[in-house]
Amino acid sequence: MKITKVEVFEVQTRRPAWRPILCRIYTDEGVYGDGEAALAYGTAAPAAAGMIRDLAKLIIGMDPLDNEVIWDKLYKATFWGQNGGPVVFAGISALDIALWDIKGKAFNAPIYKLLGGKRRDNLRTYASQLQFGWGDVCRNSVELSAPHDAYKLSDYVENAKKAVAEGYDCIKIDFFTFCPADGHRLNDEDRTRLLPPAKVQMVVDRVAAVREAVGPNVDIIMENHSYLDAQGAVQIGRAVQKYNIFYFEEPNTPTPKTAKFICDKLEMPIAHGERVYSRWQYAPYFEEQSIQVIQPDLGNCGGITEGKKICDMAYVYDISVQAHVCASPLSTAAALHLEAVIPNFVIHEHHVFNLHDYNRELCTVDLQPTNGKFKVPEGPGLGAEISPWAIEHSIKYTVE
């Protein structure tokens, strides 16, 4: 079997700020596989599309079942691959996921079988990013924030109760982003350095209200999107740890030393990974025991091939895994296959964007949990493909 061409899709969704980058690898035996560069939000999507196109030239004519050989070539023969950042690794990831999809289809088996077999049928799942609301209604905003984002205490309470009523026993909220007066995003000076008492109290009030609303048997993950520095993160963490935070996600810009500083000062687990790429970048966090939960995104950490290695390394250090998922349903499928296999899985992320039609319509399968639990796709490969709608509404590039 040989790779004959690669198609790259810049999907034009019905929400302009949401820009998924998908790819499809074709072979001479009629088998194809789909993948994703998980940089749909922020400002990197076009760069990821260009990265896939550049990398695709290197794999034409290769055997798609040789995923390890291909991965090393993309890492070693591209100069910028070694110690690369999100764009390089997102490009590698998209192609790698598509290669695993091909491998599963070629052997008529779901990816989890090829990874060693699933350990669990039902994956505990949390409702993610409730500061953006919770439900299937798209706010049709060009920006990722909108007037309906949570900023009043009643907003946080309402969103939390809604998710719990649907069966989730864990929720994640960024309690810091939106100004309590009008819902606008706090500016950069509000996010860095030691915080004034009013900012700390704002977070405490929100966390306390949600904890009272959901009770003691629902876990709360505190998201921070790396907005604070290490000092501010410790301030916030100390103020709310009495509310039994499951873990504190991205408390600051991820570096091993500052993560260790925060970890040593707080009585709650620390999570990082959305902006950490490859096993080489994860290694110092493991060695210093500076984080307790890793969140590798298979769409930008190096794909399934690299993601499995990262998770296995974490297992040596008793570190738990929650794959980061904020992308199309293809990335959800890839994450579920990996999380079903690894022994150190802790919980799966179900982002509120995955409830919205502009995202759900990108895939042939609508992957949604039931009562806060996810089933792993059972079809060959990923068990899901890029939808005809997504292909039709894309800028397409072909490499052959």
- 351-367 pLDDT, tens per residue? 999 999 999 999 999 99
Q: Quote the pLDDT of residue 140.
A: 44
pLDDT of the residue at 138: 56
Pairing relationship of beta strands 123-128 and 373-374 according to DSSP bridges: antiparallel
pLDDT at 190: 63
- Distance, in Å, from the CA atom of 235 to the CA atom of 265, rounded to the nearest integer, reads 10
Query: Residue 35's beta-bridge partner residues?
Result: 23
Domain boundaries, the chain: 3-109+387-399, 114-374
According to CATH, what is the number of the domain 3-109+387-399?
3.30.390.10
User: Phi/psi zone of residue 245: left (φ > 0), alpha (ψ -120 to 50 degrees), beta?
Assistant: beta
At 146 the pLDDT is 46
Q: Name the residue type at position 146.
A: A
Assigned token pair, 334: 């890839």
Half-sphere exposure of 287 (CA within 13 A, CB side): 9
Confidence at residue 188, expressed as pLDDT on a 0 to 100 scale = 63
Q: Which of 149, 192, 191 is nearest to 173 (CA)?
A: 149
Tokens representing 331 are 């990335």
Domains 3-109+387-399 and 114-374 share a fold: no
pLDDT for 193? 78
Half-sphere exposure of 23 (CA within 13 A, CB side): 36
DSSP output for 29-69: TS-EEEEEES--STT-HHHHHHHHHHHHTTTTTS-TT-HHH
Q: Contacts by 44-50 with C-beta closer than 8 Å and gap 24+?
A: 44/86, 44/87, 44/90, 45/10, 45/19, 45/20, 45/21, 46/10, 46/19, 47/87, 48/21, 48/87, 48/90, 48/91, 48/94, 49/8, 49/10, 49/21, 49/397
Using CB atoms within 10 Å of the CB of residue 248, give its burial: 0 to 12 exposed, 13 to 18 middle, 19+ buried: buried
Structure tokens at 183: 């819902």
> In angstroms, rounded to a whole number, what is the distance separating the alpha carbons of residues 299 and 96?
9
Q: Is the separation of the CB atoms in 54 and 79 below 8 Å?
A: no
Among candidates 327, 353, 302, 390, which has minimal Cα distance to 133?
353
Q: What is the pLDDT of residue 149?
A: 87
CA distance 66 to 103: 9
Tens of pLDDT, residue by residue over 275-330, are 999 999 999 999 999 999 999 999 999 999 999 999 999 999 999 999 999 999 99
Q: Tell me, what's the pLDDT at 383?
A: 98
Indicate the Cα dihedral angle 345, 346, 352, 356, nearest 10°.
Answer: 30
Asked whether the beta carbons of 207 and 238 are under 8 A apart, the reply is: no
- The whole-number pLDDT of residue 281 equals 97
d(CA 238, CA 119): 36
CA distances from 15 to 70, 159, 354, 394 (A): 34, 22, 13, 13
Structure tokens at 376: 């792993």
- pLDDT at position 186 is 74
Name the CATH superfamily for 114-374.
Answer: Enolase-like C-terminal domain (3.20.20.120)
Beta strands in the chain, from DSSP E residues, in sequence order: 3-11, 21-27, 32-37, 123-128, 170-174, 219-223, 245-249, 270-272, 293-294, 320-321, 348-351, 373-374, 394-399
DSSP characters for 327-365? S-HHHHHHHHHHHHH-TTB--EEEEGGGGSHHHHTTBSS
Q: Which residues of the chain carry a pLDDT beneath 50?
A: 139-147
Alpha-carbon gap, residue 88 to 72, rounded angstroms: 13
Concatenating the DSSP letter of every residue in 70-101 gives HHHHHHHSSSSSTT--HHHHHHHHHHHHHHHH
